[in-house]
Amino acid sequence: MQVKKFEAKTMKEALEMVKVTLGPEAIILSARDSRGGFGLAGAKSVEVTAAVSEEMLKKKALAEQKLNQLSKEKYIHAPARRQKAFIDKVVEQYKQEQDIKMRKFTATPYIEISDDEQGSVSTSSISSGYENLSPVVAQPTPLSNDFVEKRIRGAAERALNGAMDFFKEEEATPQVRVAKSSENALVADGDEIRALRNEILRLKSLVKGFQKVPQSFASLHPGADEGIPFELSFMYEKLIRVGVAKEYVIPALRNLESALPREQLKKKAYVSAWIARYLLDNTQIAENRTLNKYHVFVGPSGHGKTSSLV
């Protein structure tokens, strides 16, 4: 396998270079626009990476050897499909020529030549010996009429006996065939019944699984176990995530569900505004801040905890 890179101004020129260098059977591995400049002017270029097997290169070289200079120019500018057809034709002719040469080589007969010239026998003497021999033809012996009649009668009797035996077997075989067919039918029916029973059991298991689906859906969204509807699940998850205890979140959301209409529960802006007002109204604040020994400032970053301490 040979892999080469080709760089040209356009994709058409790059593919032409691939076809001339590697042949019509080349495989394009990649093609991309080159970032660097092409030539002295620094124009954009196209880089193509192609590959071809060694066998295809040898076939291409064999085909190009058959061309003169003028034919080679036409071959280079021909489409890839015509180049491939020409290469295949040249390779096929080369194979046929090699087959003919091998046949001529193996068709030469091998003879044994004796070193003893005195013991050799000439072919002329052998052929002359055969010429003196005369052919002997066997004369047919005549057959008597009685012999022919006995042969015909014996053949007819054997044919009659064979036909009677055949019809006897035909009369006996239908019962056997009916019995075998009934046995096969019973076996086939048993297999079908077992298959149907298995299919019914499988369908029953599927139906039972579908019956369990609604209960599993009820526990998918956050707060479903506490009776919180799906529309308020995002607020339940948000309050739990920022650190509000569950015993405060659940009453707040239940009050929200009873306070707002069903249409407004589906809008997150209404839900967020109501919860914000609810937390502000129900958060207990100490009247005398200096009585307690410890003071805890709770809130997100950037909302004035440090400023309040100062």
Q: Report the number of secondary-structure helices (H) and strands (E) in the chain.
A: 11, 3
β-pairing, 27-38 with 2-8? unpaired
Amino acid sitting at position 183: E
47-57 pLDDT tens trace: 889 888 888 88
Residue 123 confidence (pLDDT) above 70 = no
71: phi then psi, degrees, rounded to nearest 5: -65, -30
Residue 86 confidence (pLDDT) above 60 = yes
Per-residue pLDDT band for 195 (boundaries 50, 70, 90) equals: confident
Within its chain, how far is the Cα of 25 from the centroid? 24
139-179 pLDDT tens trace: 555 555 666 667 777 777 777 677 676 666 655 555 555 55
6-51 pLDDT tens trace: 888 888 888 888 888 888 888 888 888 876 655 555 667 888 898 8
pLDDT, residue 130, reads 43
Does this model's pTM top 0.85? My answer is no
What would the mean pLDDT of 267-280 be, rounded to a whole number?
A: 90
Which one is predicted more confidently, 293 or 118? 293
Q: Return the bridge partners of 31, or none.
A: 48
Distance of CA 284 to CAs 278, 280, 287, Å?
12, 9, 9
Q: Where are the domains of the chain?
A: 2-105, 169-218, 219-284
Residue 307 confidence (pLDDT) above 80 = yes
pLDDT, residue 274, reads 92
Per-residue pLDDT band for 87 (boundaries 50, 70, 90) equals: confident
Q: What percent of the chain has pLDDT over 70?
A: 67
Half-sphere exposure of 203 (CA within 13 A, CB side): 6
For the ranges 169-178, 219-228, 282-291, 295-304, the lowest mean pLDDT is seen at 169-178
For the ranges 90-104, 149-163, 221-235, the lowest mean pLDDT is seen at 149-163
pLDDT, residue 272, reads 92
